[in-house]
């Protein structure tokens, strides 16, 4: 009995070839590189890779900023007015503060003698004073540490006739104070007391409420030590909020994210690394680049002057720009990422010669190192040479390094250097933009994306990853 042709699989039926979806083929250059494939790009989801890290400039890029005071003439102020006057009402104020010198008094927030919070050298404590006579010390914290961030919240409870201070969502210290704060005709200051007792330190995410915050709300603002920016506040946390200053401006006045109470700059308050991170915008210095691999890894830089900048090209495609001087991001949590094998794939655009795009540490090291006409691995040895007229500098490129205990291979834009002997064991510390352990060969240029895998990728998967990043950065040779 003849079978019904309709029941035959289309893959075997000659009349059903139009239902086939052709699969991409690897067409090789004579030197082993991958030629451009003329067919449609294959669908590729990076999440299908054995990812340790996926750094994508379009997601997970953050800035943090804080006002930096040097203890001389720098402070921020707002003129006296109804916004920050209190009396016998419930009110709450505070923020994140760091003190860099504990040999004298440092004013954190003040409105003359109406209320202020300071670091008191005589007591070795943070303390809140109201009417310059009634005080409460932050005894639960004890002596604060030098150059450490603290989340400080102060409030007046008119029903209980108490003034209170709390540090880092810890125990609450309180003192009796009936009657409420008297009104003083003084301006509102951050980092000074009427222009004196200036702060040597930093301030981040400073706020003022005309109500009491609940214990749960204070815990939410502390956010397990990472704080919150204004955009993350719930609607309830914006109730009776007067002002919220994120302190992320590079200089000059500090903008109020909630109200119109912009703080004027005195003496040149500058910008430093802070506590509370917010999504970076083009032009911002990047403090955190969060991996999309889901393992909790972050490429970070605490020093403001060593941070790359987020930028976009003429098509609006984001990238990170490294200055070739000291910009560097160190990746945390990679101590057990690579145990004998791994693959790096990176999209980049170098603007200089002799650089280290990526560095991983081991007994024998692992470098993604380039010059004007070549790219190498393994402490910078030349492996991939470009033909005359095709230099690396100034173009958009994709590099991949596959390495195991038995050897390694470097590819740039599909050119392969062939199999090389020698490998590595464990790569336990990683950095983007140069070497984390020295200032050797800093990278100047753009980084468009990075994949890190804990396996040597099969050729077709490697080519897919390379093409994916090539599409991101406009590399035309893949």
According to the model, what pLDDT value does residue 424 have? 55
The residue ranking higher by pLDDT, 406 or 383, is 406
39 pLDDT tier (thresholds 50, 70, 90): very low
The residue ranking higher by pLDDT, 402 or 54, is 54
Q: Which residues contact 398 (CB under 8 A, 6 or more apart)?
A: 345, 346, 347, 348, 412, 413, 466, 469, 470, 473, 475, 478
259 to 82, 240, 242: CA distances (angstroms): 13, 11, 6
DSSP-derived secondary structure letter, 350: E
Ranges of beta strands (E only) in 75-120 are 75-78, 91-99, 106-110, 115-120
Tokens of 113: 């003698």
CATH of span 46-59+292-473:
2.60.120.200
412 pLDDT tier (thresholds 50, 70, 90): confident
According to the model, what pLDDT value does residue 423 have? 58
According to the model, what pLDDT value does residue 416 have? 81
According to the model, what pLDDT value does residue 295 have? 85
According to the model, what pLDDT value does residue 381 have? 47
431 pLDDT tier (thresholds 50, 70, 90): confident
Q: Looking at the predicted structure, is the pLDDT value of residue 363 above 60?
A: no
158 pLDDT tier (thresholds 50, 70, 90): very high
**What percentage of the chain carries pLDDT values higher than 70?**
79
43 pLDDT tier (thresholds 50, 70, 90): low
* Pick from 66-75, 164-173, 290-299: least confident: 290-299
The residue ranking higher by pLDDT, 178 or 362, is 178
CATH 2.60.120.200 domain extents, the chain: 46-59+292-473, 68-277
Please report where in the chains the tokens 């009349």 appear, as a residue. Answer: 15
365 to 340, 389, 424, 427: CA distances (angstroms): 12, 31, 7, 8
Q: Looking at the predicted structure, is the pLDDT value of residue 12 above 60?
A: no
Q: What burial class does residue 27 get, using C-beta atoms within 10 Å of its C-beta: 0-12 exposed, 13-18 middle, 19+ buried?
A: exposed
Tokens of 43: 């669908």
User: In 3D, which of 59, 70, 63, 60 has the Cα closest to residue 273?
Assistant: 63
Half-sphere exposure of 97 (CA within 13 A, CB side): 27
Mean pLDDT, residues 36-41 taken together: 35
Average pLDDT, the chain: 83
Most confident of 49-53, 185-189, 354-358, 427-431: 185-189
Q: Distance between CA 374 and CA 354 in Å, rounded?
A: 9
Please report where in the chains the tokens 């490697």 appear, as a residue. Answer: 462
Q: Looking at the predicted structure, is the pLDDT value of residue 439 above 50?
A: yes
Fold of 68-277: Jelly Rolls (2.60.120)
pLDDT tens track for 163-205: 999 999 999 999 999 877 789 999 999 999 999 999 999 999 9
pTM, full prediction: 0.74
């Amino acid at each position: 009995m003849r079978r019904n042709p309709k029941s035959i699989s289309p893959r075997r039926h000659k009349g059903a070839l139009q239902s086939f979806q052709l699969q991409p083929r690897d067409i090789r250059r004579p030197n082993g590189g991958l030629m451009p494939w003329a067919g449609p790009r294959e669908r590729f989801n990076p999440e299908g890779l054995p990812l340790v890290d996926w750094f994508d400039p379009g997601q997970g890029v953050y800035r943090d900023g804080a006002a930096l005071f040097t203890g001389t003439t720098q402070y921020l102020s707002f003129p006296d007015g109804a916004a920050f006057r209190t009396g016998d009402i419930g009110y709450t104020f505070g923020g994140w503060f760091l003190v860099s010198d504990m040999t004298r008094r440092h004013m954190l927030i003040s409105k003359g003698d109406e209320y202020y919070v300071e670091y008191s050298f005589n007591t070795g404590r943070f303390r809140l004073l109201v009417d310059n006579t009634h005080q409460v010390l932050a005894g639960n914290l004890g002596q604060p540490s030098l150059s450490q961030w603290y989340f400080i919240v102060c409030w007046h409870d008119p029903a209980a006739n108490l003034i209170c201070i709390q540090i880092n969502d810890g125990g609450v210290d309180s003192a009796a104070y009936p009657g409420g704060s008297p009104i003083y005709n003084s301006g509102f200051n951050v980092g000074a007391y009427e222009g004196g007792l200036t702060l040597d330190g930093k301030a981040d995410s400073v706020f003022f409420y005309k109500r009491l915050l609940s214990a749960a709300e204070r815990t939410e603002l502390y956010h397990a030590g990472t704080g919150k920016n204004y955009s993350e506040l719930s609607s309830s946390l914006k109730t009776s909020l007067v002002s919220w200053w994120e302190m992320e401006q590079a200089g000059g006045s500090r903008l109020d994210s909630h109200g119109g109470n912009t703080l004027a700059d005195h003496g040149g308050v500058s910008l430093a690394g802070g506590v509370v991170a917010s999504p970076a915008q083009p032009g911002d210095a990047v403090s955190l680049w969060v991996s999309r691999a889901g393992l909790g890894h972050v490429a970070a830089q605490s020093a403001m002057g060593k941070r790359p900048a987020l930028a976009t090209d003429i098509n609006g495609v984001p990238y990170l720009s490294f200055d070739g001087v000291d910009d560097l991001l160190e990746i945390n949590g990679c101590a057990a990422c690579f145990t004998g094998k791994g693959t790096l794939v990176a999209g980049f655009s170098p603007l200089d010669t002799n650089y280290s795009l990526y560095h991983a540490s081991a007994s024998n090291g692992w470098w993604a190192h380039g010059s004007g006409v070549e790219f190498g691995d393994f402490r910078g040895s030349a492996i991939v040479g470009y033909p005359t007229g095709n230099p690396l500098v100034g173009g958009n490129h994709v590099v991949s390094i596959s390495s195991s205990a038995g050897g390694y291979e470097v590819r740039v834009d599909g050119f392969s250097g062939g199999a090389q002997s020698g490998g590595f064991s464990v790569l336990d510390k990683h950095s983007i933009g140069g070497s984390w352990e020295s200032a050797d060969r800093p990278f100047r240029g753009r980084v468009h994306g990075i994949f890190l895998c804990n396996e040597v990728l099969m050729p077709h998967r490697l080519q897919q990853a390379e093409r994916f990043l090539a599409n991101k950065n406009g590399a035309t040779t893949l």
